[in-house]
Structure 1
């Protein structure tokens, strides 16, 4: 069920700063028509940190409704508070998601045994598949391969989004976990190579801007067709890099608005609109990907 090009979907806001559910439906339909293989709703790119819990749950619920079973939906359930993550998980149980994605606790920097206790406590309140999410560049908390291996023994912990960009992590986790443990790249820049080396897909920021190309690239990479995957990825490379010139999702939301897929690139404070010095850089990256 879970493989290929999975979009870490942006959350559109209207001019008043409220979630725009009409545009959200349009985004979901756009991705399905463009060949996206799955949607992560309300992850980092979806601005989970500034949505209220009620908004968070409603966005996920709406995405599930709009998708209507056509592709998998993964709901974000992460928090730096285990109790809060459990609360989100219990509420997501009723939303119809196919899986949940839980980022490592940020800011409080727990030890590895704390991470094991955290994820086991979350998994215990649901039967829905859980995907670990390791992004130490944002959280200052690194989920080590040995810890992943221990957590992979929990029945409903089925995979990991590994966003270090360090490809050696892939081989380490593969060596320690069973073959059915799912491995997703969370780093667009190395995502193609991650799949060519045995990963199952990419949970992607770039996919927001160039979903069709990302889907095609992933399909070739998963088939082991390096030349074909590299040819497509070369068109995407500037986006892979330049979508992070400022904190995600500032650049990607600006790009999606430039494409007309949403009406504005509005974010919630403390995130602010993209600096004008990066506008031409991102326009160039979009032109290379043939989306502008």
Structure 2
């Protein structure tokens, strides 16, 4: 479920307030670029600094703007199971097509705790659930064996794997087979991820270059491996620059360079520093993206 390229959307702000008009323009750019879905209120959307009301406002706005043209996978994860249940119930009532739930961060539950957490959320809704494993953010790795147990829950349909560890991803596929979809959470390894059973990516880079990210997937599905590899390699420098400072600092800067939003983040994140910002602008220029 949720195959192809889904954009992990930034959340634009103007003077500290969610900028719906900028959000709408950016979403239209994504859809025109051929993405297969969008993900509001993920890590890239600065979800950790959104209030619950803002979180709900952003999800609702995304669903309304997309208007059924592609799936909306709403970020509803938290390190509190009760909060995750509340946000996921809201996403279901608002009309989201699925929910993306990060592993609980900071409190570092055991693998048994992870199973109990996801089971509680999954049983509270009928919405398709996508697990999200990103140890670099949460200090917690969800093991393949844990994923296999969770794949038995009827509405756990996929996992976003952001470890860039192909051995771990292969073991998830070995243990789960076709019970759940494997979605990459790492742009730079999207192509090799497809080769071990992956079916898509939740992408940061597609905020900037949805056409090229979509082309990787399209070439792969047509068996055009050399062409897919060529596009993959063309995006490698951009993918590196998007994580040269803590994400979403660089992608927010880059989206502002394209004219879709202000370069405004919420503390404790600060705008991108000057030297990498210049490198990022040069790379956007090299790729022929429409700088403002």
Tell me the TM-score normalised to structure 2 length: 0.97
Q: 1:167 to 1:289 in 2, by over 3 A?
A: farther
CA distance in 2, matches of 1:289, 1:99: 33
Q: Conserved in 1, the CA contact under 8 Å of 2:85 and 2:124?
A: yes
Q: CA offset at residue 29 of structure 1?
A: 1.1
Task: Report the secondary structure of 1:94's partner residue.
Answer: helix
Structure 1 unaligned runs (5+)? none
Q: Conserved in 1, the CA contact under 8 Å of 2:161 and 2:185?
A: yes
2:116 aligned with 1:125: no
Q: Deviations over 1:119-161 (max 9, x none)?
A: 0000011001000000001100100000000000000000100
Q: CA offset at residue 277 of structure 1?
A: 1.9
Q: CA offset at residue 287 of structure 1?
A: 2.7
Task: Report the secondary structure of 1:36's partner residue.
Answer: coil
Q: Among 268, 282, 285, which residue is 1:287 paired with?
A: 285
CA distance in 2, matches of 1:223, 1:85: 38
CA distance in 2, matches of 1:138, 1:172: 22
RMSD across aligned C-alpha pairs, in angstroms?
1.1
Q: Conserved in 2, the CA contact under 8 Å of 1:39 and 1:72?
A: yes
Q: Deviations over 1:40-73 (max 9, x none)?
A: 0100000100011111011111111111111000
Give the paired residue count: 290
Task: Report the secondary structure of 1:183's partner residue.
Answer: strand
Q: Which moved more, 1:190-199 or 1:282-291?
A: 282-291
CA distance in 1, matches of 2:87, 2:136: 24
CA distance in 2, matches of 1:277, 1:73: 35
Structure 2 unaligned runs (5+)? none
CA distance in 1, matches of 2:107, 2:284: 37
Task: Report the secondary structure of 1:241's partner residue.
Answer: helix
4+ aligned runs moved over 3 Å, structure 1: none
Q: CA offset at residue 200 of structure 1?
A: 0.5
Q: Conserved in 2, the CA contact under 8 Å of 1:102 and 1:130?
A: yes
Q: Which moved more, 1:174-183 or 1:202-211?
A: 174-183
Q: CA offset at residue 89 of structure 1?
A: 1.2
